[in-house]
Structure 1
Amino acid sequence: MLGKLLKYDMAALSRVLVPVHIAALAVGLVAAACFFGCNWIDSAYNGWSGSSGFSASILVMLAMTGAFCLFALFMASAATFFAIVHRFYKNFFTDEGYLTLTLPVSANLHIASKVIAAALWLLIDVVIVGFCAYFASMAAMGFAGDFDETIPYFMLMSSYGFSSIESFASFMLAGSTSAMQVLAMVLTAYAAFALGSALAAKHKVAAGIGLFFALSWAAGLVHSIKSVLLATSFMYESSYNYAAANMLSSGVSLVLYLITSIVFYAVCVYVIDRKTNLA
């Protein structure tokens, strides 16, 4: 039964997200072309000092167009998140929920299907948006740079304490932490809208949005406390190892995101099974 639910959820998401990511690929190619043009003009005229007024204007126009395309590219990720959460809310807490909840399927299978579909589309989004961002970054360097100079690398660094990712282990840890962080964010939204729909007689969407920000703030506070505690514990070490500290911090974050995901998954199952009232 899980397979049938997953097929249905994937089809519903794909109707929206396939066109979004086709557009993202097109926008990524435009961004790469713009940045490559910037690199070519900069090399041909030896930078701004050698550029004529016309070439400088073209350089500015290409740079602004490329930056706008990058912004639009990352909006595809925001659209993916929004579509996933909207699918969850619509399927359970609108008129569609009357049909969904009459199916002879447990709440656990319903939530599992939603989570798997979300994870698959988030993976697709990361591959497409990450490739486009990498391609555009390389184009900006005339395809002569290294991976550690690209946008995806700096995004991974954000999950690794903004420290250099120098080994395969640290790369996998940063990637796993980033993936679990995004999945935890999705489950936070699921739990927020489930609780909002169960607790609020009216304005359920507003309640869900408010709870999402509240739960996200609480999770952020926990991670801030974690960072302070780890920094304090390493502060008094005579042989401070920055790389080891970052691996430990990223590992603890990974565990916290996993615990958050499990807790909010359980909240969703409980609310769908016991507290959902569409009246």
Structure 2
Amino acid sequence: MLSKLVKYDIKSLIRVFIPVWIVAPVIAVMLSATIHLLSVADGPLMNVFSEYIGPILLGILAVLFVAVIVGMMIMTLILVIRRFWNGLLKEEGYLAFTLPVEVWQLIVSKVIVAAIVNLISGLIAALSCLILFLGISKEIFYSMGYTFSVIWRSMTGELGAYTGVLIVLGILFLIVTSICGIYMLYASMSLGQLMEGHRVAGSFLAYIGLNMAVSTITNIGTMIVTNILPDNLVNITAGNAGLIITLYMLIMLVINGIQVAVYHVITEYVLTNKLNLE
């Protein structure tokens, strides 16, 4: 049933996002082409373009590009919040909670879809920026490729056998961090429902409170671990950058995983026992 919930949610969200996901790279291509034409303008017609039409078109496309990229990020955040707020905490929640599914499935489906939409929006934004850079100068790509090769050689030389492990851990860390951020929003909105008549303000305060609590607990935990860390482990990791980074990534994954579990428990508890739909 969870797969059906995910499929339904993602279909409804993608219908909204597809136009933006298409428009962003299209505008990037047009802006890139305009920049390229202005840089190679030659001949009477091209001179007219470079002097009159080109600069105006360039300004319009540049404003549109920034507006679309920023708008896509804001739109992603707003719809991620709105789908949870309206779908489970408002009147639509009556329909959702009548479905033959567990509360945890309703929550997890929202999180999965939100994470997928975040990922796609991020990739579209990155692709659009790469297209734009191509129009500005091909040298940027050559520089990026050279820089990447230098960094890669440095990583493989410094990290050795840990390189592949760290790449996998890095990808997992990005995914888990994204899910953790979404869960924090959902837990905050759920806690905000406990403040009758001030649910939006309650959600905002809960979000600030959760951030402060996580920061405080993380700092305290870091100090405790640092003080109790065995001396022999310090000696083993000394000078071994690959092992140090691997241990750090694993610790961060565990911390984020614990946060996800706590946020889920909070959200499910409120939705199961304390929710008063408007």
TM norm structure 2: 0.71
Overall identity of the aligned pairs, in %: 24
Task: Spell out the pairing of 1:68-83 with structure 2 (5 A cutoff).
Answer: 69=65, 72-83=68-79
Q: Determine the structure 1 residue equivalent to 2:214.
A: 219
Q: CA deviation at 1:147?
A: 4.8
What is the distance in 2 between the residues matched to 1:263 and 1:134? 38
Greater Rg by CA: 2
1:167-213 deviation line (CA, Å, top 9, x unaligned): 3333332222122111100000011101111x111121221122123
Residue 30 of structure 1: CA displacement?
4.9
Greater shift in the superposed pair: 263-272 or 135-144: 135-144
Listed as ranges, the matches of 1:168-183 within 5 Å are: 168-183=164-179
Q: Is the 8 A contact 1:108 1:269 kept in 2?
A: yes
Change (3 A) 1:137 1:248: farther
Structure 1 residues 80 and 147, CA gap change in structure 2 (3 angstroms): farther
Deviates more, 1:136-145 or 1:210-219: 136-145
Say whether the 8 Å CA contact 1:32–1:66 is kept in structure 2. no
Question: What one-letter code is carried by the residue in structure 2 that aligns with 1:104?
Answer: P
Is 1:205 the counterpart of 2:203? The answer is no
CA contact (8 A) 1:16 1:83 kept: no
Matched residue, 2:143: 145
Q: Mind listing any 5+ residue stretches in structure 1 that lack a counterpart?
A: 42-53, 154-162
Alpha-carbon offset, residue 214 of structure 1: 2.3
- Corresponding position: 1:4 with 2:29: no
> Partners of 1:62 and 1:164 in 2: how far apart?
44
The count of aligned residue pairs is 250
Partner of 1:278: helix, strand, or coil? Answer: coil
Aligned equivalents of 2:31 and 2:223: distance in 1? Answer: 39
The structure where helix makes up a greater share of residues is: 2
Q: Deviations over 1:131-183 (max 9, x none)?
A: 22344445545132335758xx9xxxxxxxxx999933333322221221111
SS of 2:277's partner is coil
Q: Residue in 1 aligned with 2:24?
A: 24
Instruction: Say if 2:183 is the partner of 1:187.
Output: yes
| Letter of the structure 1 residue corresponding to residue 13 of structure 2 | L
Q: 1:256 to 1:270 in 2, by over 3 A?
A: same
Tell me, in whole angstroms, the C-alpha distance in 2 between the residues paired with 1:180 and 1:210.
Answer: 24
Q: For residue 110 of structure 1, report the CA deviation from its aligned partner.
A: 1.0
Q: CA RMSD in A?
A: 4.0
Deviations 1:220-259 (A, max 9, x none): 444555667788879x869444454333323321221121
Q: Distance in 1 between matches of 2:33 and 2:248?
A: 38
Supply the distance in 2 between the matched residues of 1:246 and 1:65 (Cα, whole angstroms). 42
Distance 1:210 1:65, change over 3 A: farther
* Aligned amino acid, residue 144 of structure 1: Y
1:156 matched residue in structure 2? none
**Aligned-partner SS, 1:82:** helix
1:125 aligns with 2:124: no
Q: Which residue of 1 aligns with 2:106?
A: 110
Match of 2:207, as an amino acid? F
Report the equivalent of 1:51: none
* 3-state SS in 1 of match to 2:143: coil
Structure 1 residues 103 and 174: CA distance shift in structure 2, 3 A? same
Contact map agreement 2:115 2:182 (CA 8 A) in 1: no
- Asked if the contact 2:31–2:62 (Cα under 8 Å) also holds between the matched residues in 1, the reply is yes
Spell out, residue by residue over 1:95-123, the C-alpha distance to the aligned partner (whole angstroms, 9 max, x if none). Answer: 21222222232212211221222222223
- Cα deviation, residue 26, structure 1: 3.1
Give, in whole Å, the separation in 2 of the partners of 1:189 and 1:148.
39
Classify the secondary structure of the residue corresponding to 1:145: helix
List per-residue Cα deviations over 1:64-109 (Å, max 9, x = no partner).
Answer: 9759835742542332122112100101121212222222322122
Alpha-carbon distance in structure 2 between the residues aligned to 1:135 and 1:221: 42
Distance 1:23 1:103, change over 3 A: same
**Are 1:98 and 2:73 matched, yes or no?**
no
Q: Which amino acid aligns with 2:213?
A: A
**1:249 corresponding residue in structure 2:** 248
Q: Say if 1:216 and 1:149 are closer, same or farther in 2 by CA, change over 3 A.
A: farther
Given that residues 27 and 61 in structure 2 are in contact (C-alpha distance below 8 angstroms), is that contact kept between their aligned partners in structure 1? Answer: no
